[in-house]
Amino acid sequence: MKRKKIIICDTIHEKGFKLLEKESDIEIINAAETAKNKLYEFMKDADVAITRSPTDVDAKFLDAGKKLSAIIRAGVGVDNVDIDECSKRGVIVMNVPTANTIAAVELTMTHILSTARSFPYAHNALKQDRMWKREKWYGVELFGKKLGVIGFGNIGSRVAVRAKAFGMDIVAYDPYIPCNKVTEFGMTYTENFDDILACDFITIHTPKNKETVNIIGKAEIAKMRDGVRLINVARGGLYNEEALIEGLKSGKIAFAGIDVFSKEPAVDNPILDLDNVTVTPHLGANTFESQEKIAIQAAEQALSAVRGISYPNALNLPIKTEDLPSSTAPYLELVQKISFLAAQIYKRPILGIHIEGEGAIGEYLDSFLTFAIVGALKESLGDNINYVNAGYMALDKKIDTSSKILPASGYSNKVTVKISTDKGVAEVSGTVFGEDEQRIVSINGFKTDFKPKGKMIVFKNRDVPGVIASISTLLAQNNINIADFRLGRGSDGLALAVILVDQDIGRELLAKLNELPNCIWAQSVNI
């Protein structure tokens, strides 16, 4: 079988490379050190590309990579990606939005503390100028001050928790979240933006879009209290820079902590000439830990995309995922994965694809059904199935599809996909713990608990002594390492095991597994 190709256009952490290199069905094109004017020569055969900010994903880039099906932007920002052009050409764009969360949170806290105590200036006066003038560097305490947080997502909420530990009073503004997401932390939720403008410190953590560009301008600064301190470690342009400079010069704004600018590199920005700012050169993601996480997540997304299994954090899927709450995102991916798994259990022509939901997630089953169809048919149709034609393909193949909301059975939210074939029905259920911890919780009625990722064997057997030993022995004889072994027992004398392994299971070995005493059936699955 011809190997799929992933091109790496910019430098990523070595752990990302190692993750990709382990996959025998993938060929890596390492163009990270290639001059940009030579990059296009390596792209003609690439199926998926991993890029960072130095590479512009524009029409010229896409012309060179005519086979590309997906772009992974290894980071949060996609300012250098022409998403509309990618959409026109059917190229799915993904980013890595959470890997640098802690790094951005901690840099925000650094700027909050620096603006309160003028730390960089005191440091330079002593270290560089050898001046011991303690009286010049009086600051303010965070304790008892109000912190206004604009955007209470992954980063803003964590900044708020840390600031609360300093004894600050938190006021949060985010019209896209329920108020209890804020109040459960003992913080104040507001729908009135003026409540934010009345705070002692203000920090912003929103994406950059039409709604948020210049969200803080001249009029907003005029409403602020004298001596306010402003922080921006999100995106350049959220604060109007001209208004910001004017406020800093007049003293209306006592101090600002800025990591991002409207135009970067910002070496000539007039903000740098002011004495009441702390600045950093867009360091929000610049920790060793975050770079490692970014590389690993980008590599994992590239593998899922190149195999057509799922498209985590896709920004331009041709269905209206933007109309769904952000909490549904991990379920969209989970549904496609469990559908893909279910289709591999029998590997027979599919007669029906049915999805069921328990809990609040049940409202979105109609949207989830598209992902279930893509996952189920990917094994047989490969690149011929996508989110646009999923419904048509199911109709053309006379596959019955449906969705159904069920009463809760012990989980806050649970989704189940049932794939009907002439050999039987494969039923897989899953849920999401926390924000994005995806888990498979049952297969064909047998309880289990594992992440839907990696190489695995699904093994149904009579529940008698010696089965686990016989499986382990056979795998060891074939140099297959067991990473995890999950066993679910039924009340009818049968059991089902999910064995996660580190190596591929070939046809011959699978046949031997099916020949083991007390085996009812065994199937290899790769997610």
Same domain, 408 and 492: no
Q: Answer yes or no: do 341 and 423 share one domain.
A: yes
Active-site hit among 52, 205, 235, 354: 235
Same domain, 306 and 432: no
Residues 144 and 239 in one domain: yes
Residues 206 and 113 in one domain: yes
Residue where one domain finishes, among candidates 429, 451, 473: 451
User: For residue 221, what is the domain's CATH number?
Assistant: 3.40.50.720
| Alpha-carbon gap, residue 445 to 430, rounded angstroms | 12
Clarify whether residues 148 and 259 are in a common domain: yes
Q: Can you spell out the DSSP letters for 199-211?
A: SSEEEE----STT
Rounded Cα distance, 233 and 214, in Å: 15
Q: Tell whether 131 and 272 lie within a shared domain.
A: yes
Which structural domain range is residue 3 located in?
1-97+285-316
Helices (H), 72-231: 83-88, 101-117, 119-127, 154-165, 180-183, 193-197, 218-223
Which DSSP string corresponds to 42-102?
Answer: G-TT-SEEEE-TTS-BSHHHHHH-TT--EEEESSS--TTB-HHHHHHTT-EEEE--STTHH
Please tell me whether residues 77 and 115 are part of one structural domain. no
User: Which pTM was predicted?
Assistant: 0.64
Residue 510 structure tokens: 């699978």
The predicted pLDDT at position 323 comes to 61
| DSSP category for residue 240 | -
Considering 141, 184, 242, 264, which one is annotated as catalytic?
A: 264
pLDDT tens digit at each of 527 positions of the chain:
689 999 999 999 999 999 999 998 899 999 999 988 889 999 999 999 999 988 999 999 999 999 999 999 998 878 789 987 887 787 889 888 888 899 999 999 999 999 999 999 999 999 999 999 898 889 999 999 999 999 998 899 999 999 999 999 999 998 767 788 899 999 999 989 999 999 999 999 987 777 789 999 999 999 999 999 999 999 999 999 999 999 999 999 999 999 999 998 899 999 999 999 999 999 998 999 999 999 999 999 999 999 888 787 787 775 655 567 777 888 988 999 999 999 988 878 889 999 999 998 888 898 899 889 989 988 776 655 767 667 877 887 889 999 999 888 888 899 999 999 888 999 999 999 987 889 999 999 999 999 998 899 999 999 999 999 999 999 999 999 999 999 999 888 999 999 999 998 888 899 999 999 999 999 998 88
* Neighbour-count burial of 458, counting CB atoms closer than 10 A to its CB (0-12 exposed, 13-18 middle, 19+ buried): buried
Q: Domain with 328 in it: what CATH number?
A: 3.30.1330.90
Please give the pLDDT value at position 310. Answer: 78
Nearest to 41 by CA among 15, 60, 16, 18: 60
Residue partners of 465: CB distance under 8 A and separation at least 6: none
Based on the fold, state whether residues 113 and 166 are members of the same structural domain: yes
Instruction: Select from 316, 336, 364 the last residue of a domain.
Output: 316
Of 418, 451, 484, which one is at a domain's C-terminal end?
451
Catalytic residue among 282, 307, 356, 358: 282
Domain match, 108 and 257 both: yes
Q: Are residues 359 and 240 in the same domain?
A: no
**Whether 264 is catalytic:** yes
Asked if 282 is an active-site residue, the reply is yes
What single-letter amino acid sits at 173?
Y
**Contact, 444 vs 450, CB < 8 A?**
no
Note the pLDDT of residue 352.
94
Let me know whether 291 and 260 are in one domain.
no
Give the count of domains, the chain.
4
pLDDT of residue 308: 81
Q: Where are the beta strands (DSSP E) in 222-343?
A: 228-232, 253-258, 277-279
CA distances from residue 519 to 94, 479, 511 in whole angstroms, order as listed: 41, 21, 11
User: Which SS3 state, helix, strand or coil, does residue 8 take?
Assistant: strand
